[in-house]
Structure 1
Amino acid sequence: MASDLTPGARSGLQAAYDERVRSGEIRPDPAQAAALAPLIRLEADLAAARPGGGLRKLFHKPESQRGVYLIGPVGRGKTMLMDLFFETVPVAAKRRTHFHVFMGEVHRLIDAWRKGDAAARKARFGQHKGDDPIAPVADVVAGEAQLLCFDEFQVTDIADAMILGRLFEALFARGVTLVTTSNRLPDDLYRNGINRQLFLPFIDLLKRRVEVVSIAGPHDYRLDRLRAAGTWFSPADPDNRRSFDSLWREMLGPEEETGETVEVLGRKVHFPHAAGGLLRASFASLCSVALGPNDYIAVAQRFHTVFLEGLPKLTANRREEARRLVILVDALYEAKTRLIVLAEAEPVKLYPEGDGAFEFERTASRLQEMRSADWLEDR
Structure 2
Amino acid sequence: MDGSSGVQHLVDRRPEVTPERLIAQLVPPPTFADVSFDTYIPDPAQPSQAAAVQSCARFCEQAVERRQGRKRLFGRREVLPGVGLYLDGGFGVGKTHLLASSYYRVPGPKAFATFGELTQLASVFGFVECIELLADYVMVCIDEFELDDPGNTTLISRLLSALVERGVSVAATSNTLPEQLGEGRFAAQDFLREINTLAAIFETVRIDGPDYRHRDLPPAPEPLSDDEVAARAARSSTATLDDFDALCAHLATMHPSRYLTLIEGVTAVFITGVHPVDDQNVALRLVSLTDRLYDAGIPVVASGAKLDTLFSEEMLAGGFRKKYLRAVSRLLALSREGTTLGEQT
Shorter-chain TM band: 0.5 to 0.7
Please state if 1:207 is matched with 2:199.
Answer: yes
Change (3 A) 1:281 1:63: farther
Q: Match for 2:280 among 263, 277, 294?
A: 294
Residue 120 of structure 1: aligned partner: none
Give the superposition deviation at 1:207.
2.2
Give the superposition deviation at 1:188.
1.8
Paired residues of 2:67 and 2:138 also in contact (CA < 8 A): no
Please state if 1:66 is matched with 2:83.
Answer: yes
Amino acid in structure 1 at the alignment position of 2:125: L
Residue 330 of structure 1: aligned partner: 312
Residue 220 of structure 1: aligned partner: 211
Residue 93 of structure 2: aligned partner: 76
Give the superposition deviation at 1:214.
0.5
Report the secondary structure of 1:199's partner residue.
Answer: helix
Paired residues of 1:61 and 1:175 also in contact (CA < 8 A): no
Amino acid in structure 2 at the alignment position of 1:171: L
Paired residues of 2:92 and 2:212 also in contact (CA < 8 A): yes
Paired residues of 2:59 and 2:83 also in contact (CA < 8 A): yes
Indicate the RMSD between aligned Cα atoms, in angstroms: 4.6
Q: Match for 2:224 among 227, 234, 243?
A: 234
Residue 364 of structure 1: aligned partner: none
Q: Match for 1:104 among 120, 125, 140?
A: 120
Paired residues of 2:278 and 2:315 also in contact (CA < 8 A): no
Change (3 A) 1:198 1:171: farther
Aligned equivalents of 1:52, 1:202: Cα separation in 2: 27
Paired residues of 1:158 and 1:193 also in contact (CA < 8 A): no
Q: Which moved more, 1:232-241 or 1:32-41?
A: 232-241
Gaps of 5+ in 2: 1-35, 235-249, 262-268, 294-298, 336-345
Paired residues of 1:71 and 1:185 also in contact (CA < 8 A): yes
Amino acid in structure 2 at the alignment position of 1:43: C
Q: Match for 2:167 among 152, 169, 175?
A: 175
Give the superposition deviation at 1:162.
2.9
Paired residues of 1:70 and 1:215 also in contact (CA < 8 A): yes
Gaps of 5+ in 1: 1-15, 111-133, 243-260, 314-324, 343-379
Aligned equivalents of 1:311, 1:199: Cα separation in 2: 42
Aligned equivalents of 1:212, 1:54: Cα separation in 2: 29
Give the superposition deviation at 1:49.
3.5
Change (3 A) 1:158 1:204: closer
Q: Which has the higher contact order (CA 8 A, sep 6+)?
A: 2
Change (3 A) 1:209 1:82: same
Paired residues of 2:84 and 2:203 also in contact (CA < 8 A): yes
Residue 45 of structure 1: aligned partner: 62
Give the superposition deviation at 1:330.
2.4
Change (3 A) 1:74 1:188: same
Report the secondary structure of 1:171's partner residue.
Answer: helix
Aligned equivalents of 1:188, 1:329: Cα separation in 2: 23
Change (3 A) 1:17 1:140: closer
Amino acid in structure 1 at the alignment position of 2:214: L
Please state if 1:17 is matched with 2:37.
Answer: yes
Paired residues of 1:187 and 1:203 also in contact (CA < 8 A): yes
Amino acid in structure 2 at the alignment position of 1:202: E
Alpha-carbon deviations, 1:244-296, whole Å to 9, x = none?
Answer: xxxxxxxxxxxxxxxxx988xxx866585569xxxx78457x87xxx962334
Aligned equivalents of 2:177, 2:223: Cα separation in 1: 35
Paired residues, number: 259
Amino acid in structure 2 at the alignment position of 1:330: S
